Amino acid sequence: MNTAVKLENVWKTYKMGGERINALQGATLEIKKGEFFAIQGPSGSGKSTAMHVIGALDKPDTGTVHINGKDTSRISEDGLAELRGKTIGFVFQQFNLIPTLTAIENVALPMVFQGKSETERNSVATRLLGEVGLLERKNHRPSQLSGGQQQRVAIARALANDPEIILADEPTGNLDSETGKKVLEMLKGLHKKGKTIIVVTHDDKLASEAETVAYIKDGKISRTKRN
């Protein structure tokens, strides 16, 4: 099995007030294992919904989503939580760090849910913070870190359980251009190590660094191209 993620004719509709919004309309795409893949489109195009179904955070109304060959519609909620915890590392535009926890505690948190011992959690979190160049900030809380530092902590957290897939939603969206470049280099470095990188973005520069780009508009994958 060489496919990390496969969407087939995926539809997702939301109700807003009395209106029905077709966020995804027959979306179909395939992402290979070890690929650097970008999903690009304007605001409101369905990018975030695509990210949610790819990351098993939401189920489609119709169509299928396969992650490593597993049909997510046939997996229980507990099973999906386990799949997310072990297989996918999430990086968000808003960082989503826990404000009351230190950097090292934030990085260690995903390992708590996988039943790792405190010794192992601290060892792995320390190593990862070192890899993203923030070991000296390990006892700082998010409010004591810059945006770029928070995003690097978020990337370290995404790697905590050594997932095969890194799913990043506008990972440079809240960063200045220089810091954004550093985050991009980190993602490229992870790709070189064999991780599947899936980036959801409206940023041309970020998308241009991917091997494959799928363009989404009005909930439909309009075209896919190789860079």
pLDDT digits (tens, 9 = 90+) for 118-165: 999 999 999 999 999 999 999 999 999 999 999 999 999 999 999 999
Q: Report the interhelical angle of 103-113 vs 147-158 (nearest 10°).
A: 20
| pLDDT given for residue 214 in this prediction | 96
**64 and 133 Cβ atoms separated by less than 8 Å:** no
| pLDDT given for residue 1 in this prediction | 64
pLDDT digits (tens, 9 = 90+) for 170-205: 898 888 888 888 889 989 999 999 999 999 998 888
pTM: 0.92
Alpha-carbon distance 133 to 181, whole Å?
A: 15
pLDDT over 90 (residue 18): no
| pLDDT given for residue 30 in this prediction | 95
Domains contained in the chain, CATH given: 36-59+77-226 (3.40.50.300)
pLDDT digits (tens, 9 = 90+) for 37-95: 999 998 889 998 999 999 999 989 999 999 999 999 889 999 998 899 999 999 988 89
Nearest to 149 by CA among 198, 97, 210, 199: 97
